[in-house]
Structure 1
């Protein structure tokens, strides 16, 4: 299993992010869990950098954003400077969008489909879901009350709730019990709906077509 994940970086990234979906509910409510969440985020960051390194994108920009994320993560945990958390989630969102674009470029750069590129289809989906979840977190910090849910409607939405919203919107299965209320929040949701539709129509269909042709 480990050899397989090392051989196919996209499979490793997809596996770790799916594992995170199972572990995140246990990481949100305790200091130890939040520390584990930060460490897990570093693992995802390293794997995403490995993916970007294989893609036809500007690698120095990716490493610069990754370094900024690590520095801001430490600063947020050690200090209480206003605005640091907003800067962190904004840069995290930008990094995951950048990594997703790199993976799309990796899948589109030739006329053949490899096993790693098939895993890249799933990894790109999770990267986009993470990117929009961080965008929702930034929106919530700028405009409190942007998202409401049936449980504790007056409280800010947790990371797991925002990720749940992102995955349901990107996959096209619906919003569930979390709704955007502010105009900016609704705009972000609409953009993610369009991104999910275009990803299936343009990228996934091309990869499937090349696989059938092969």
Structure 2
């Protein structure tokens, strides 16, 4: 009886705050990649986990007033291409999967922004959604960097193994460094299209802080003053 009640409370909490679960899954994916990337089996397991994150991102977006069918149109072929590309060693399928995943994560990020800006109130889930949106943007551009690297070899270089293609984690690191504005990355875009993508991410990072985060802070401050 007690276990069922606790389980029911957990389900209710997750339904009320789905952004928390999404953010936790995104951060967990960052942490487990260095471990799973050591073997082909681990890479497949990581792909499956990322596909679960994709489904979770869709679920979060489906809970707010955005066009739901777009996510599924992107998600289904993205999952198929990624699995076929990794298991069958097909670079073309991988590239198509990366492209669709970039669009899907960008779609989910925009959907969360609509969710956060939908009203004049502020909830805990909306505050957590700010962090989840940031990670979705970071993943979206990281996948875009992978597509860029596949289309234009040598798009990115680094302090070590300068001529090698950059790994997923390296490009995700570049994406986080660029989006946050800290610029602490040894990965450098050297081709014109790669530089253009990085500049677009810089713009998204600045506008995200200026428009979305600043509005959430203003609403939270207003709510605190009204509560006094």
Provide the TM-score with structure 1 as the length reference.
0.95
Q: Who is 1:126 aligned against?
A: 135
* Alignment match, 1:195: 204
Structure 2: segments with no counterpart, 5+ residues? 1-5, 224-228
Distance in 1 between residues matched to 2:74 and 2:210, nearest whole Å: 30
Q: Distance in 1 between matches of 2:171 and 2:78?
A: 19
- 1:97 pairs, out of 98, 106, 116, with 106
User: CA shift at 1:49, angstroms?
Assistant: 0.9
Per the TM alignment, residue 194 of structure 1 is displaced from its structure 2 partner at its CA by 0.6
How many equivalent residue pairs? 214
C-alpha distance in structure 1 between counterparts of 2:128 and 2:25, whole Å: 12
State whether structure 2 residue 189 is matched by structure 1 residue 167: no
> Which residue of the other structure, out of 47, 54, 61, is the alignment partner of 2:70?
61
Q: Which residue of 2 aligns with 1:177?
A: 186
Distance 1:66 1:158 in 2: 23
Q: CA deviation at 1:77?
A: 3.1
- Alignment partner of 1:38 out of 38, 47, 72: 47
Deviation at 1:57, TM superposition (A): 1.3
Compared CA separation, residues 178 and 81, structure 1 to 2 (3 A): closer
Give the Cα separation in 1 of the matches to 2:90 and 2:41: 22
> Could you give the per-residue CA deviations for residues 161-205 of structure 1, whole angstroms, max 9, x where no partner exists?
000000000000005211000000000011100100000000000
Give me the whole-angstrom Cα distance separating, in 2, the residues matched to 1:180 and 1:55: 36
Structure 1 range deviating more: 60-69 or 101-110: 60-69
Q: Against the structure 1 CA distance between its residues 157 and 82, is the aligned structure 2 distance closer, same or farther, given a 3 Å change threshold?
A: closer
Residue deviations 1:50-81 (CA, integer Å, cap 9, x gap): 11101221101101111111211232134355
Within the candidate set 14, 30, 36, 1:27 is matched to 36
Matched, 1:157 2:149: no
CA-atom RMSD in angstroms: 1.5
Q: Which moved more, 1:137-146 or 1:80-89?
A: 80-89
Is the 1:49–1:63 Cα contact (8 Å) retained in structure 2? yes
Distance 1:176 1:54 in 2: 35
Q: Aligned ranges for residues 96-115 of structure 1 at < 5 Å?
A: 96-115=105-124
* C-alpha contact 1:93 1:130 (8 A) present in aligned 2: yes
Equivalent residue, structure 2, for 1:16 = 25
Look at both structures and tell me which one has the larger radius of gyration over its CA atoms. Answer: 2
Residues 32 and 78 of structure 1, relative CA distance in 2, 3 Å threshold: closer
TM-score, normalising length: structure 2: 0.90
